[in-house]
Structure 1
Amino acid sequence: MAIHTEEFSMCFATTLAVTGPLLAAAGAALLAYDVFRNPSRAVIASFFANQMKREDEIYQSIIDRYRSLPADLDQNTVKSWIESVNKQMERVRQRNQQRQQSRDLNELLFSRRLGVVGFVLVATGSMMQSFAAML
């Protein structure tokens, strides 16, 4: 019976010695992936800022066109057109800001999850290596 226990102990130590570094490597890969995603997040934020800038330029050009309409047009009609454009633009801005906030929150939660899982894998793999060395 003692031989059987010793064989089991050696097999268990070998299993820990092999799977420990694999788990640690997987955790390190997740952490590295999380770090290398930062540049892509910056590109997405830049894209969003440029999109908002283009929308503001379009909005401003529409307002300028309405303001440069001939004076013989009814000014109340022109003002109502401008108010309509202002309301529509405000809805577009709010929608885009809500979308961006939602993306930012989802990105933060995903990044946190990656960090926690990566850390847990590295810690678990390291503990497994330590236990394998003790056996």
Structure 2
Amino acid sequence: MDPEVPAVTVADLGILRAVDIDDQGRAIAKVTPTYSGCPAVLAIELAIEAALRQAGFDPVIERILAPAWTTDWITEEGREKLRAYGIAPPVAGSSSKRALFGEITVACPRCAATDTSKLSEFGSTACKAQYRCNACHEPFDYFKCI
């Protein structure tokens, strides 16, 4: 689980790239942080380590920095979980300059209306922006494209 987005697992987010068992029986978890300054990365790694230890493995966490994580790695199940939790998932194609720098259409996670307005580039965490739905008038977080 991501401590900043508890509705989804690190596998849903694409942060946990793989878990391999080596010749010595150690579980090697390959983790790609969402971005280099993510304040949750240590908590995420400790949670993965604890889960592997609880499953009876000697855990090793391997931080993988290349290729860099992108919101395109979020699974469809993860996107649905974000939506159900009240967070609008990032638009697809995060590598596109339009998704990163242009105007995008963000659907309300509550009523699915696309008539929404960005209130602030900064939401409840660094990876989210604050929006409001002009149809149901509810505020919501949008998971920014990275």
TM range (shorter): under 0.3
TM-score normalised by L of structure 2 = 0.19
**Which of the two has greater strand per residue?**
2
- Greater length-normalized contact order (CA 8 Å, ≥ 6 residues apart): 1
TM-score normalised by L of structure 1 = 0.20
